[in-house]
Structure 1
């Protein structure tokens, strides 16, 4: 317990005292109101909690490996900067459509916007060629 965060009160009458919390018992002065040497220490703590959420959905057809529709929406951490952004991404293979929108939730400015036919979306994320893959 640090002196700057603790309030010292008389343990008998609850009068707030101008005495550091670290004052040794032998050096305490009696309470000016009731004469008690008993002390109560009040310490107030404050914290906050925030929650982030993101939802993802995939629609599959039996026998086909890749989903024909994917959706991601919600809070996303950009690991290089440590900044939380808002992400909306749709991959629609059935309609050959791709869109990704990344916005700063505080300023609401668009950080990244990409909307294009899915077959033109290359060399990003899952569209990157894997090691050992070759162009057909």
Structure 2
């Protein structure tokens, strides 16, 4: 398992390229919350948006995940813990006011990039409007 990439996968690189091309800048493989040991694939700190690109195998995609035939109890536990950790991460970030965007690796990167761009710009707009009202 040490040979498996945990960052800079092809789907991540493509999504990052499209978001960068749209004019947005972000942190890569960064911790959204300093005390949390988990990293997001893309972090937009000023507007509190965290983006994750989940691999179908490692995160138990309902469409594409196929349980390995060998050592099945190990894999059930491993994938189950990954999914549980994902939900815990989502909840912790939401509790701190973050918007969490999760995309499966098989989704159309252009659609995912559009959602990221819309979310970040929307939050920037809201932030600017709230500053004007003060």
TM-score, L = length of structure 2 = 0.27
Question: Hey, which of these two has a bigger chunk of strand by percent?
Answer: 1
Work out which structure has the larger RCO, using CA pairs closer than 8 Å and 6 or more positions apart in sequence. Answer: 2
Question: Hey, which of these two has a bigger chunk of helix by percent?
Answer: 2
Choose 1 or 2 for highest CA Rg: 1
TM-score, L = length of structure 1 = 0.26
